[in-house]
């Protein structure tokens, strides 16, 4: 899974007589290569612990399906079948993800593409080795990509990768999906106020008691600790930020992000963070990747089409420049 920028979460204790019965419970475990945090408000500590265990078990079950790091994950078994004439029978969870990914590909006009797996694996290996791949190697891996090479059969719930060497990478959508599924589980179990943070993919429902929403701060490009002076106030929303703070490679003074341009096979070089606020975690996750790759005007149009808020923060000559969609301002926390 791709690592993400972390949000600084400002959590406030419950206050007031009307909400005195609700208590704040916080749980965290390492999942998908980073911290997976759950905050919920409830009345019973024993029940809260049991719900957290249920949530983490759900996460583990989905990671076993979607991870490209686990050799025997369902995703990797599908990828090993690439080039075969035999369609791969998918579980309901994997098939749902493939359909969502196809929808994201179509709506983003190809800027979000899970078939970039050969390239993401290539750049991951070279970043780890602190080397830069030869252009011939990049071109070779690029030839293995293309959503048209993934055949999805909705009647039989199968998938077929038609070219040997193809790989799928769900890192740009699965974390948001899993965060949303976790919130959905809590909601089904009667938890009205909760937040899940999967290494920066945040999904929340309700509010901390006595508050209008969850307060979240957004990072500035090229810095792990610097934050925008303004904060977000969210309720029943998902928010994700993409950037290159931790995952990048440099060559000749140019920084290449882990986010890959599907037309070139190379990482993005613009120094910017892209934040998306959407109704669900899945949309927020893939939309940040698509809007990072698309030119600014096209990114704004896509966000509008998806009824999402979009904030682009760029570092230009030691200055921070911000561009936002018209609807983004409603999410800024006011001083009142």
Least confident of 146-150, 223-227, 280-284, 331-335: 223-227
User: In this model, does residue 14 exceed pLDDT 80?
Assistant: no
**HSE (CB half, 13 Å, CA atoms) of 44?**
7
pLDDT tens, 90-125? 999 999 999 999 999 999 999 999 999 999 999 999
Would you tell me how many other CB atoms lie within 10 Å of the CB of residue 299?
Answer: 24
pLDDT tens, 217-265? 887 765 556 778 889 999 999 999 986 555 667 676 677 778 899 999 9
User: In this model, does residue 22 exceed pLDDT 50?
Assistant: yes
Which residues are 232's β-sheet partners? 216, 332
User: In this model, does residue 3 exceed pLDDT 50?
Assistant: no
User: In this model, does residue 5 exceed pLDDT 50?
Assistant: no
SS3 319: strand
Whole-prediction pTM: 0.90
User: In this model, does residue 216 exceed pLDDT 80?
Assistant: yes
Both tokens of 270, joined, read 């613009």
The pLDDT value given to residue 224: 57
DSSP 140: H
Which pairs with CB-CB distance under 8 Å and at least 24 residues apart come from 16-21? 16/209, 16/210, 19/209, 19/210
The pLDDT value given to residue 2: 38
Burial 66-91 (b: 16+ CB within 10 A, else e): bbbeeeebbbbebbebbeeeebbebe
Task: Give the separation between CA 83 and CA 167, rounded to whole angstroms.
Answer: 11
Least confident of 229-233, 282-286, 313-317: 313-317
Task: Give the separation between CA 11 and CA 39, rounded to whole angstroms.
Answer: 9
- How many residues would you count in the chain? 336
pLDDT tier, 9 (very low <50, low <70, confident <90, very high otherwise): very low
Burial 106-129 (b: 16+ CB within 10 A, else e): ebbebbbbbbbbbbbebbbebbee
Task: Give the separation between CA 198 and CA 7, rounded to whole angstroms.
Answer: 10
Q: Mean of the pLDDT values across residues 171-189?
A: 97
* Angle at alpha carbon of residue 241, lines to 181 and 281, rounded to 5°: 15
- Which option is the CATH number for 66-161: 2.40.170.20, 3.30.70.2700, 1.10.3980.10, 3.40.710.10? 1.10.3980.10
- C-alpha separations of 96 from 50, 225, 288 in Å: 27, 36, 20
Q: Mean of the pLDDT values across residues 66-87?
A: 97
Mean pLDDT of the chain: 89
The alpha carbon dihedral of 63, 68, 73, 76 has a sign of: positive
Q: Mean of the pLDDT values across residues 196-202?
A: 93
């Amino acid at each position: 899974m791709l690592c993400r920028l972390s949000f600084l979460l400002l959590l406030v204790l419950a206050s007031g007589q009307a909400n005195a019965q609700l208590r704040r419970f916080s749980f965290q475990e390492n999942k998908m290569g980073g911290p997976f945090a759950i905050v919920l408000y409830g009345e019973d500590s024993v029940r809260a612990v049991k719900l957290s265990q249920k949530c983490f078990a759900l996460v583990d079950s989905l990671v076993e399906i979607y991870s490209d790091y686990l050799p025997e994950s369902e995703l990797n078994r599908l990828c090993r079948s690439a080039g075969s004439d035999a369609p791969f029978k998918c579980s309901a969870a994997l098939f749902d993800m493939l359909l969502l990914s196809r929808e994201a590909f179509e709506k983003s006009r190809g800027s979000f593409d899970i078939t970039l797996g050969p390239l993401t694996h290539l750049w991951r290996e070279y970043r780890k080795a602190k080397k830069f791949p030869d252009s011939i190697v990049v071109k070779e891996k690029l030839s293995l990509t293309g959503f048209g090479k993934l055949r999805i059969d909705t009647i039989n719930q199968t998938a077929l990768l038609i070219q040997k060497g193809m790989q799928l990478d769900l890192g740009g959508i699965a974390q948001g999906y899993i965060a949303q599924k976790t919130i959905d589980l809590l909601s089904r179990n009667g938890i009205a106020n909760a937040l899940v943070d999967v290494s920066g993919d945040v999904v929340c429902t309700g509010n901390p008691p006595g508050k209008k929403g969850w307060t979240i701060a957004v990072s500035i490009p090229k810095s792990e600790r610097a934050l925008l002076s303004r904060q977000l106030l969210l309720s029943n929303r998902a928010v994700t930020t993409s950037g290159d703070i931790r995952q990048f490679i440099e060559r000749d003074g140019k920084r290449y992000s882990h986010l890959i341009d599907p037309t070139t096979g190379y990482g993005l070089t613009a120094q910017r963070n892209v934040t998306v606020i959407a109704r669900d975690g899945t949309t927020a996750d893939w939309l940040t990747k698509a809007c990072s790759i698309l030119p600014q005007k096209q990114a704004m149009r896509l966000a509008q089409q998806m009824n999402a808020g979009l904030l682009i923060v760029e570092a230009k000559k030691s200055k921070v420049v911000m561009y936002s969609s018209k609807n983004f301002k409603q999410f800024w926390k006011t001083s009142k």
